Structure formats: structure tokens, C-alpha cells
Amino acid sequence: MVEFTPVNLITGFLGSGKTTLLQRLLADPALADTAVLINELGEVGLDHHLLGRIDETMVLLQSGCLCCTIRGELSAAIKELHSRRERGEVPAFRRLVVESTGLADPFPILSTVQADPVLRHHFRLGNVVTTIDAANGLGRPESLKQVAVADRLVLTKTDLVPDTDALLDEVRRLNPDAPLWRVPEQTVGAAMLFDDRTRSALQAVPAVAESRHGSVQAFALTFEGVLDWTRFGVWLTMLLNRHGKKVLRVKGILNVGGSATPVAVHGVQHLVHPPIHMTAWPDADRRSRLVFIVDGLERAAIERSLGAFLSPPKRAKAAAVA
């Protein structure tokens, strides 16, 4: 079986503590065989770890497909690391952590790993970890997107700001269910942040209430009965083609026809991860559940559209009866 090397992204706004977090994490023996890429001008000298440097180069392929937005430098840097690993020139790392600049849109970085024809056969996307500055809060559009796409959240500088209730409320409106740690008052280990085996389990989905932060809205949809995977695929590909930039996050577990266990889907903007065939349902609820975090789209329109796409056509129904 092919071993895919997980790629974890650490993102967060300028000065929110990404490098500090990374330095602490790299001291964890669990990350001893981890390569690190930092796309900032300064390179932090971390002994026995690998460092690369990436520019902000972005290349849009001629197809015009936004899924193919590739950060050429990042792609080249990861391929070079992979080649050197295969040649035995660097230690055989089993994880790659990419620390982005504070102003970076996380999407092109994720897209690079998933869409690159070479990388996608050797690497897979792991958790996205986003740091949030408790002292300065959110605010910038880049910061909102970084929080919305996160699988794990780390609220930093909580020793400087004791009262973070308002900020947490704001964060939860953008990302209702990602586990969150407060540092330095809580100790956060590499395993907590990077273990993605339960990433798509969505145990918290039923508790996701509709929330809104400016034009960004988070909500959950549930569907009774068995869902047609192909019709769902037609709908989601069409939605992401037209509105991918506005769909900051879509994730859920689906009760798919012909499968005894659920299928987990997980997407960030135009990018959708390979669907995970889960080994068991997380609870007794057998409904399909989808969480959306969208910017400038209305829940009612999405719900009605998905319902219409999923409903079987009358002709098919008549044929089934006959």
C-alpha cells in the first residue's frame, strides 16, 4: 500500500504566533521525522529539520480551472524535498509542515498539494492549523478565511488577554466545530493538532447552530434517507464551479446508497478532498449532515437547490414502479 505523506498547513494572521507554535511543536518527539517549509523571508534555524523557502509565485494553468491554481515555488520545493528523500540525501521524513505567511490565502497552498500531478501521488492533505491572536483579534478578510478553513484552532496570547469570550464567539461563528486550544494556558501537542483520523467524523455537527459574521455564514443541513452520490456530485461540482470562492468550507457525512457506513466529504473553496469511506457511524443518527461556511451565499438558496438536485426525476420513478 502506498504511504502518502501528510502535509499540514500552519496558518494565521501576521504576528499571531505561528512560528512560536511551530518551534514548540518541533520540540515534540512526535515530530522528529518532520520536514518544514516556511514561506517567509526569515529562516529559523531548526537543527536536524529541513527548511525551504518559497516565494509567492502563483501560476494559473491555461485550462482556467481554478482548482489548478498552483503555487509553482511551493510545488517545486516539495518535489525537491521528495526527490532528496528518495535519493537518501535527507532523512526519510514522514510528515511535512508548511508555515504560510500571515497574509496568505490558504486555498492555493492546499490546492497545490491536491492538484499537482506528481505531489498528489505521494502526499495528502493533513489538518490545517490556524493561530488566532487573542490580543488583536480577527478583522482582516485573510484572517477570517484562515479561521474558516481550519481543522484545528489555537488561540494565542491568552495570558495577555484574560477575557476572550467576545473573540471566541466571533471565531465560532466562522468555524463552529474545529477543536480549539488556548495557549499558553493549555498545553498543545503535535498529536492533538495533526492527528486527522477523526477530522471528518463531525461529531459536533448536530450542535452547529446557524451563525453569521458579517457576510460569512455557517449552517448545517440535514437530509433524511439515502442520498444519491452521483446527483450530489453533479450538484457540488456545479456549485463550486460557480461559487467556489464563496464556499469557504463544506464538510459532512453522507448516508450514501449502497454503503453501510457513511462517506465523509470535506472541501475548501474549489478544492474537495477525496471522499473518506468511514468505518462506522459516529452515533445513532443516520441522516446525512452537511456543514457550510459561506461568504455571501444564502442558506435557503443552497438548501432548496440541493434538494431539487437530489430528488429523483419523475421518469426514473415511473420506470422503477414499472
Partner 1 sequence: MCALCGVLGGGGDWTDAAARPGIYTPNVDSLQRRRERINRVACAQRVLGFYGLTLSDWQSTSFVLSTMTGKTELVENLTHLWSAAEKLLGRPCDPLDPALVARLEADGG
Contact positions toward partner 1, by CB under 8 A? 1-2, 63-65, 67, 114-115, 117, 120, 228-231, 233-235, 237-243, 256, 259, 263, 265, 267, 272-277, 297, 301-302, 304-305, 308-309, 311-314
Pick 4 or 186: Cβ nearer partner 1: 4
Pick 212 or 317: Cβ nearer partner 1: 317
Non-local CB neighbours of 20 within 8 Å, separated by 6+ positions: 156
- Shortest separation between residue 50's beta carbon and partner 1, angstroms: 26
Instruction: In whole angstroms, give the CA distance from residue 213 to residue 207.
Output: 18
Pick 205 or 268: Cβ nearer partner 1: 268
Q: Please give the backbone phi and psi of residue 218, each rounded to the nearest 5 degrees, phi first.
A: -115, 135
Instruction: In whole angstroms, give the CA distance from residue 3 to residue 53.
Output: 25
**Contact indicator for 95, 58 with CB cutoff of 8 Å:** no
- Shortest separation between residue 69's beta carbon and partner 1, angstroms: 13
What is the dihedral angle through the alpha carbons of 56, 62, 68, 71, rounded to the nearest 10 degrees? Answer: -20
Which grid cell sits at 275? 471522499
**Contact indicator for 147, 175 with CB cutoff of 8 Å:** yes
Number of helices and strands in the chain (H, E): 9, 16
Which amino acid does the sequence have at 136? N
Instruction: In whole angstroms, give the CA distance from residue 185 to residue 106.
Output: 27
- Shortest separation between residue 113's beta carbon and partner 1, angstroms: 11
- Shortest separation between residue 303's beta carbon and partner 1, angstroms: 10
Pick 48 or 314: Cβ nearer partner 1: 314
- Shortest separation between residue 45's beta carbon and partner 1, angstroms: 36
Cα of first residue to Cα of last residue in the chain, in angstroms, is: 45
Pick 28 or 303: Cβ nearer partner 1: 303
- Shortest separation between residue 276's beta carbon and partner 1, angstroms: 6
Pick 206 or 274: Cβ nearer partner 1: 274
- Shortest separation between residue 256's beta carbon and partner 1, angstroms: 7
DSSP code for 4? P
Pick 186 or 311: Cβ nearer partner 1: 311
Place of cell 490546492: 111
